[in-house]
Amino acid sequence: MPTFNSEEVARLAALARIDLTPDELTQFAGELEVIAHAVEKVSELATADVPATSHPIPLTNVYREDVVSDVVDRDAVLAAAPASQDGKFLVPQILGEEA
């Protein structure tokens, strides 16, 4: 059974670089104790015969038919672009790498 005291909370707060008052240390020690007991209770209930779940409601993927349709002409799209080169969009260089 886990128990948290003010010294342990102070150590964790120091690791996280959080300044806590003595009242806050006492308060958080109590709150961590409640959380630890809740986790312990769930651990008792989660047995091997209970399947693991990622979502309480079963989910299924809905796929649409992959239908071939008319595509936009690449030359028409590139003609509407601000700049193009060699059949591709031309965009400003942003990483300072050699072109």
- pLDDT, mean of residues 91-95: 87
Q: What is the total count of domains within the chain? A: 1
CATH of the domain at 20: 1.10.20
Instruction: Determine the structural domain holding residue 35 and report its residue range.
Output: 6-45
Identify the residue with better confidence: 75 or 96.
75
Spatial separation of the C-alpha atoms in residues 47 and 41, rounded to whole Å: 12
Residue with tokens 């965009």: 91
Say if residue 92 is exposed, middle or buried (CB neighbours under 10 Å; 0-12, 13-18, 19+).
exposed
Amino acid identity, position 89: F
Q: What are the helix and strand counts (H, E) for the chain?
A: 3, 2
- pLDDT, mean of residues 10-28: 94
Query: DSSP 3-state assignment of 88?
Result: strand
For residue 35, tell me if it sits in a domain.
yes
For residue 58, tell me if it sits in a domain.
no
- What are the tens digits of pLDDT across the range 30-74? 999 999 999 888 878 767 777 777 788 888 888 888 888 888 899
pLDDT band at 1 (very low <50, low <70, confident <90, very high): low
Whether the per-residue pLDDT at 86 is higher than 80: the answer is: yes
